[in-house]
Structure 1
Amino acid sequence: MKCDVYLTFDGNCEEAITYYKTILNGEIVMQMRYKDGPPEYSNSKIEDKIMHATITFGDGCELKVSDSFHQPLVKGNNYHVSLATDNEEQAQAIFNGLSKNGIITMPFADVFWGGKFGSCVDKFGIQWMVSVNSK
């Protein structure tokens, strides 16, 4: 299993990831804009904004980032703890446990980029993303 920090920005994600790349001597290894996703994720206001990007740096460090889409960004809700595993049963169990007595913000289900994904806010107010890679 892998755990990462996932940061959300209010429209300036591209600027932030370029800055972090320079400061951390990193490499942007993945970048997708909202216009690259399904039609429901694209509109003229956000189509060129970052839907997801990953920067690697140091000895195996990753930082995952995106521009806000689902909710207004409020400092404090601009991060998630992101868990990824190759085991679907494990991912489902983790998601079920974290979302119990919390709020499911995206049900754990198949996603257009492959595999399964879900997000929730646990009963303590911590935001989680849980994913399983497609086989």
Structure 2
Amino acid sequence: MITINPYVNFRGNTEEAMLFYKSIFGSDFTLIQRFKDMPGGDKISEEDQQKIMHMSLPMGTTTHLLASDVLESMGQTMDMGTNITLTVVTESEKEADKFFNGLSQEGQVTMAMNKAFWGDYVGMLTDKFGIQWMITHSPNK
């Protein structure tokens, strides 16, 4: 069974937005990671270190609202309307590769499938229709 989760980017106010959504939906965050927690996080400004690299808010039994801040200091950009990515959570690396390879045909790969520092197998792309996708397999879940 695959799951698709919306992943929303914000311009520095992810924590505020996610606390608002938490107040509406009533669940507790399952993960909060700040940019200071990533490898090399100590090399960015103290202000950016406190920004959200990844947050996860359960929305029922299988879906999560995922979010992060966009850091211009790291060369990241964001336009309203293109700040949502569909995240597909797969059951295996093989399935992740299948979806990634299919969706990336005539599209643009942003990050090739690889093992991330937090342990997931993950890749990102924009398909030929302009939809942003993140494909991930979490071996520990």
Q: TM-score, normalised by structure 2?
A: 0.88
Determine the C-alpha separation between the residues in 2 that align with 1:59 and 1:92.
Answer: 25
Determine the C-alpha separation between the residues in 2 that align with 1:11 and 1:120.
Answer: 23
1:64 aligns with one of 63, 66, 70: 66
User: Which residue in 1 is equivalent to 2:32?
Assistant: 31
Shift of 1:115: 2.6
1:46 alignment partner, SS class: helix
The count of corresponding residues between Structure 1 and Structure 2 is: 135
Shift of 1:127: 0.1
Asked if 1 retains the 8 angstrom alpha-carbon contact of 2:9 and 2:68, the reply is: yes
Determine the C-alpha separation between the residues in 1 that align with 2:93 and 2:59.
Answer: 28
User: Which residue in 2 is equivalent to 1:3?
Assistant: 4
Q: TM-score, normalised by structure 1?
A: 0.92
Determine the C-alpha separation between the residues in 2 that align with 1:106 and 1:100.
Answer: 14
1:11 alignment partner, SS class: coil
Asked if 2 retains the 8 angstrom alpha-carbon contact of 1:24 and 1:58, the reply is: no
Determine the C-alpha separation between the residues in 1 that align with 2:51 and 2:43.
Answer: 9
1:124 equivalenced with 2:126 (yes/no):
no
Give CA deviations for 1:32-83 in whole Å, capped at 9, x if unaligned. Answer: 0011011169511421100001011445442111111452111022100000
Asked if 1 retains the 8 angstrom alpha-carbon contact of 2:97 and 2:113, the reply is: yes
Distance 1:58 1:93, change over 3 A: closer
Determine the C-alpha separation between the residues in 2 that align with 1:39 and 1:50.
Answer: 15
Unaligned stretches of 5+ in structure 2? Answer: none
Moved more, 95-104 or 59-68: 59-68
User: Which residue in 1 is equivalent to 2:52?
Assistant: 50
AA aligned to 1:74 is: D
Give CA deviations for 1:18-43 in whole Å, capped at 9, x if unaligned. Answer: 01000111211110001101116951
Asked if 1 retains the 8 angstrom alpha-carbon contact of 2:96 and 2:136, the reply is: yes
AA aligned to 2:5 is: D
Moved more, 47-56 or 62-71: 62-71
Determine the C-alpha separation between the residues in 2 that align with 1:67 and 1:23.
Answer: 21
Q: Percent identity?
A: 36
1:91 aligns with one of 96, 101, 104: 96
Asked if 1 retains the 8 angstrom alpha-carbon contact of 2:41 and 2:49, the reply is: no
